Amino acid sequence: MYNGKKVVVVLPAYNAALTLEKTYAEIPFNLVDEVILCDDASSDNTSTLAEQIGIEHIIVHADNRGYGGNQKSLYNRAMEIGADIIIMLHPDYQYTPKLIPAMVNIIGDELYPVVLGSRILGRGALAGGMPLYKYIANRFLTLVQNILVNYKLSEYHTGYRAFSREVLETINYEENSNDFVFDNQMLSQIIYAGFHIAEVTCPTKYFKEASSINFSRSVRYGLGVLGVSMQHFLQRLGLARFRLYKLNTRKKREMIG
């Protein structure tokens, strides 16, 4: 709990048994009230281990729904249990839970409603093991996105994110893809809805047990990102209308032009 706001960490899990316990052990429970894990049809004992280490809420998908589908289940459950601040943390230990207090403070003190853990701020991405082709792709895609979306972020591709309840109540994330491009669709929706985004420097960790998509899926992801950015561009110029950007609330917000 922070400033009277309930803090919930959500863990999108797929074959995370080797790193889950280490990730969970570093969550700051002096701030975090509850944890939700969604096991997206893992072939290992992720869900069993989650129960053994004491995770309160465990969702198990009988069939693999994809990274986006996993997040949809997590955010829906977080809203059901009354979360005010929601932190999405990968259970593969690629992102350190030690940044949670900073992210909670930013949202809890109403400085920003969204916080991203950026691997690009600073100079540690390549030193932390990010493959060179992924770094180059990250920089290229981010440049194009900043131009088309008319915003400025150091990267759009981090999986470490925190949101206020209002953000999740406003954007139509159920309309998004169930694949990896879900993350970029979410940020596009958030920016279009007029929410502002903070970034904090996040150490980069690439190691054998950390999840990562292969080259072919990375290419498909990159093309999807460009497609989302073009949709955002057309939407903000009024040249097209996409269901992606239909808000879940009638509250009027100042759109970023």
According to the model, what pLDDT value does residue 257 have? 42
According to the model, what pLDDT value does residue 132 have? 86
CATH number for the domain harbouring residue 186: 3.90.550.10
252: in domain: no
255: in domain: no
DSSP codes, 103-153: HHHHHHTTS-SEEEEESSSSS-TTTTT--HHHHHHHHHHHHHHHHHHT---
103: in domain: yes
Query: Three-class SS of residue 13?
Result: strand
Query: Three-class SS of residue 76?
Result: helix
According to the model, what pLDDT value does residue 251 have? 47
According to the model, what pLDDT value does residue 33 have? 98
145: in domain: yes
Q: What is the pLDDT tens value at each position of the chain, 257 positions in all?
A: 999 999 999 999 999 999 999 999 999 999 999 999 999 999 999 999 999 999 999 999 999 999 999 999 999 999 999 999 999 999 999 999 999 999 999 999 999 999 999 999 877 777 777 888 888 999 999 999 999 999 999 999 999 999 999 999 999 999 999 999 999 999 999 999 999 999 999 987 776 655 556 777 888 999 999 999 999 999 999 999 999 999 986 444 444 44
21: in domain: yes
Distance in angstroms (rounded) separating the CA atoms of residues 75 and 171: 12
257: in domain: no
25: in domain: yes
Distance in angstroms (rounded) separating the CA atoms of residues 35 and 54: 9
Please give the tally of structural domains in the chain: 1
According to the model, what pLDDT value does residue 205 have? 76
According to the model, what pLDDT value does residue 87 have? 98
251: in domain: no
Q: Could you give the C-alpha distances from 13 to 142, 147, 157, in angstroms and in order? A: 26, 33, 18
According to the model, what pLDDT value does residue 207 have? 60
**Full domain range(s) for residue 227:** 7-245
